[in-house]
Structure 1
Amino acid sequence: MSKVSTIAIVLALAVACPAQIVINEFVYDDSGGDDREYVELYNAGGAPVDISGWVLEGADEAWSAPLTGDNNADYTIPASTILLAGDYLVIGAATVPNVDVIVGAANLWENSKEAIVLRDLALTVVDAVGYEGNKSTVLDPSLFEGTPIWGNFTSIDATLLSWSRWADGLDTGDNGADFGQQQQSPGTTNDVATMPPTICDDLEQWPVGTDLICVAPSFVVPRVVDPTVVSASVPNPVPASPDGGNCLVFWDPAGGGDAGFLKAPPVQDTVFEAFVYLFVGHTAGESEEWSLGIRGTTGTFYNFPFGSTANGNTGISWTYETNDTGATLRLMDHGSGGLGNVLHSIPITLGANDGWQRIRVEVTGLTVNANFGGVFGDPASGTVINVAASQLQTGTWYMGYREGVVGTANAHGLLVDRINLGSPCPPEYQVNQPAATLTIDGTNGGIYYPAITTISVGQPFSLEMQSTLLGTPFDFLVNLQPLLPASQPPALTFPDGQIVNVDLVTQPTVWFFSPGSALPNLTNAFAPVQFNNVQTFFPVTASGQALFIDPSALLSISLSQGVQLVVQ
């Protein structure tokens, strides 16, 4: 078929279906010479559309009528422009990849409280997007849909983000809900390659210094660190989290704010859980604020959520504010942009509920279930919050941090460990039946992690074992060295799914009991069985679980949560 006849057929098929053409992605400001600006149109329909002569209008508060009243530039789409079904048209500067229509070299669109409107030949609005709505209350409602994109934005040349629809052509009639910050993709799909539906990451598989490239940052990518060691990313060390080992820090050593967005398809129903570090004790005039959000986005600079109208959070978030007068953790409903609503507020007090804490939030439709503290993985433990969201939204997981400190020496950044995202993670270790408990120095492990205690060689510690089956002749303690992840081949697996991770290779730890410590007669067990002044006389890492014969359990076995001792 000749090119001429092909064009003729396309022209014949091109129909007036303006509603299927959307503003799909755009950049109106960048950190260089404003020479990377563009608008991408997308045909979300099933037929080609002739958009010749249509106008891409720029508008601001001075706008009074189509193409009238302001000093913003307007661009006319060239003749013979047919946008095929599922295809893109990129209008912008020559430096933009895949640009189709070059309309200038730089400063093509205004930077704040503006709108971009697509009009057909009759100057009827086909699509409209308002942006930086935090700066304007008088932008004409015909210039945007729903809520304008709220937060401030600049595409940083080193990271290249854009405002993009969460999926090509996705249009619910609400700009603030339909757009999020994602990696630039002019002329190609916004749909991010699918990641695993569930992310369960304790960050131990990544060496210290690894950048978490599954997050697209506005400035600096999150980094895996040892929180106990001073480094360029950790100016103020803190103890390890309850999970131990590495954690993630989100902080720009250059100062100011930073935002990051998971490179994953948007979701509506999801769960997020993690350990976070809550710092309390800033000096006069200093502050830090951060957010961890789901099904939403935020602005480039993560402007302060409190005391400012410029923060760009959308969706649901846990947001933390700490300054010289106190600290508060809030569960927030940001909707599609604006000041947001506080769903629940938790004052954070030094020595009481600061430091490493577990946070969790799960959204299903308009139902929001959240937890503060308690056992990791357990939706019924800790402070339980059950509330309703203001609207059904689509979005991704995001993080934002901003500091208000003198220099960077007093900054802590956003510290996160054991990230569970998407859906609840399966237990990493075989964990307890209610009949079995084991503690080390008064601490017992959680579903996803053992209780970790670090001591010096020769320093005494205590173990406490308890069974609710008092007086049974078969209660006993088994030292399992070490605990093995359930994903590894277990030594013993029972038909009902019970897993006993007995290491048959590593030599078991030798425990030395100080004089006068009598070993209880476990054949006549009582609750609790205590081992006090236990000592080791060499460096070792030892793990253990209590195993009980339990006639009421299938196969008569109850297995406790794990404990781990690090002797240095």
Structure 2
Amino acid sequence: MKKLATILGLTAVLAIAATSAFAGAVRISQVYSGGGGTGAATYKQDYVELFNSSGSPVNVGGWVIEYGSATGTWGSAATNYAVIPAGTIIQPCSYWMAGVGTVGTGGAAFPITPDFTVTAGPNMSSSNGKVALFNTLNANTACGSELAGTLEDKIAWGTATCAEGTATAAVSITLGIVRNNGGMTDTNNNSLDCTLVSNPTPRNSASPANTACLATPTVNKTWGSLKSIYR
């Protein structure tokens, strides 16, 4: 009985350690919010790209991509968030892409196929706005009032509130936000961690893994030191 209790206790500790180790591993690596219109946009639809910076697969099924206007709440309506399908796995050091919002007539089709497409929304602003990745739904939630432990990452641009550090500059129908070093850089400051790129190129689960991530045991963030232990 004592041996069984010891085994169960060790299993619980390992489960907690694994959960802690992978907290913050998946982050937003690209945002393009210029689609959905009739103008000379880069793409017909908006997209959000995620990156798994860890050395192990991460199940993001049921996680939620939530949009907020410049001064608005996260996921103010059902059309302002998209729930990632159950069973979605992002492989180590790899990417995943969601095409979100209205498919417009202006711009080109994506050069690759999104891993997930939802046309009901969110339709993100091509000038000022914010988007976050939650591990559970935070509907119509104000910045700072998110459920504890549910916010995985966020990026704000232009005059939007609720950035990590400082928001990036405003974007346009041809400018996207790209996290530096293939998604590796994360110092919790949007303006420093990301670059505005003209006509950005999205990546999906079939894109090559980030070789810098595969070769580097740690990254900028608390997660980096944890990864060196559990990877």
Q: Taking structure 1 as reference, are residues 98 and 18 closer, same or farther at Cα in structure 2, changes over 3 Å only?
A: farther
Cα drift, residue 153 of structure 1: 2.3
Larger radius of gyration between Structure 1 and Structure 2: 1
Q: Deviations over 1:377-436 (max 9, x none)?
A: xxxxxxxxxxxxxxxxxxxxxxxxxxxxxxxxxxxxxxxxxxxxxxxxxxxxxxxxxxxx
* Deviation (angstroms), 1:181: 2.6
Quote how far apart the aligned CAs of 1:106 are.
8.3
**Aligned pair in 2 of structure 1 residues 24, 86: CA closer, same or farther (>3 Å)?**
same
The answer on 1:147 being equivalent to 2:166 is yes
Task: Judge conservation of contact 1:39–1:92 (CA < 8 Å) in 2.
Answer: yes
SS in 2 for 1:19: coil
Q: Does 1:166 align with 2:166?
A: no
Query: RMSD of the alignment, in Å?
Result: 3.0
Deviation of 1:116 (Å): 0.3
Q: Distance in 1 between matches of 2:186 and 2:164?
A: 10
- Report the residue type matching 1:114 in the other structure: G
- Cα gap change, 1:128/1:122 in structure 2, threshold over 3 Å: closer, same or farther? same
Does residue 44 (structure 1) correspond to residue 49 (structure 2)? The answer is no
Residues 1:129 and 2:155 aligned together: yes
Unaligned runs of 5+ in 2: 1-14, 104-108, 139-149, 211-231
Q: Are 2:106 and 1:80 aligned?
A: no
Query: Which protein has the bigger strand share?
Result: 1
Unmatched segments (≥5 aa) in structure 1: 1-11, 156-160, 192-568
Of the three residues 24, 32, 36, the one matched with 1:27 is 32
CA distance in 2, matches of 1:73, 1:53: 16
Counterpart of 2:178, as a letter, is S
Given that residues 48 and 84 in structure 1 are in contact (C-alpha distance below 8 angstroms), is that contact kept between their aligned partners in structure 2?
A: yes
Contact 2:79-2:120 within 8 A present in 1 as well: no
CA drift at 1:36: 3.2
1:146 maps to amino acid: G
Bigger relative contact order, structure 1 or 2 (CA pairs below 8 A, ≥6 apart): 2
How far, CA to CA, are the matches of 1:151 and 1:40 in structure 2? 18
Q: Deviations over 1:429-482 (max 9, x none)?
A: xxxxxxxxxxxxxxxxxxxxxxxxxxxxxxxxxxxxxxxxxxxxxxxxxxxxxx
Are 1:120 and 1:126, in contact at CA under 8 Å, matched by a contact in 2?
A: yes
Contact 1:58 1:72 in 2 (8 A): no
Cα distance in 2 for partners of 1:75, 1:62 equals 20
Check if 1:114 corresponds to 2:129: yes
8 Å CA contact 1:167–1:190 kept in 2: the answer is no
Query: 1:52 corresponds to which letter in structure 2?
Result: G
Distance 1:26 1:102 in 2: 15
Distance (Å, rounded) in 1 between the aligned partners of 2:99 and 2:85: 13
Query: In the TM superposition, what whole-angstrom CA distance separates every residue of 1:132-177 from its partner, at most 9, and x where no partner exists?
Result: 12xx5xx2x3xx200011233221xxxxx53111212211111011
Q: Structure 1: how far apart are the matches of 2:196 and 2:209?
A: 11
Shift of 1:108: 3.0
Q: CA 1:185 to 1:61, structure 2 compared with 1: closer, same or farther past 3 Å? A: closer
Alpha-carbon deviation of 1:51?
A: 0.6
TM-score where L is the length of structure 2:
0.61
* Distance in 1 separating the partners of 2:31 and 2:49: 6
Distance 2:49 2:155 in 1: 12
Gap change, CA 1:151 and 1:60, over 3 Å in 2: closer
Aligned 1:175-194 pairs, distance under 5 A = 175-182=190-197, 184-187=200-203, 188=207
Counterpart of 1:60?
69
Q: 1:74 & 1:129 partners in 2: Cα distance?
A: 15
- How do residues 301-316 of structure 1 correspond to structure 2 at under 5 angstroms? none
Q: Which one has the bigger helix percentage?
A: 2
* C-alpha contact 2:61 2:86 (8 A) present in aligned 1: yes
Whether the 8 Å contact between 1:59 and 1:114 is mirrored in structure 2 is: yes
Residue 43 of structure 1 deviates from its aligned partner by 0.1
For residues 83 and 50 of structure 1, the distance between their equivalents in structure 2, rounded to whole angstroms, comes to 6
Letter in 2 for 1:129: I
2:126 partner letter: N
Kindly indicate whether residue 32 of structure 2 is the aligned counterpart of residue 18 of structure 1: no
Q: Does the 8 Å contact 1:60/1:72 carry over to 2?
A: no
Q: Residue 118 of structure 1 aligns to a residue in which SS? A: strand
2:23 maps to a residue whose letter is P
The within-5 A match list for 1:466-481 is none
1:62 deviates by 5.0
Deviations 1:58-107 (A, max 9, x none): 0124534x534x68610000011011111111000583223110111887
Deviations 1:329-365 (A, max 9, x none): xxxxxxxxxxxxxxxxxxxxxxxxxxxxxxxxxxxxx
Question: Counterparts in 2 of 1:265-280, with a 5 A limit?
Answer: none
The AA in structure 2 aligned to 1:184 is P
- Kept in 1: contact 2:128–2:157 (CA 8 A): yes
The alignment partner of 1:177 has SS state of: helix
Letter in 2 for 1:148: A
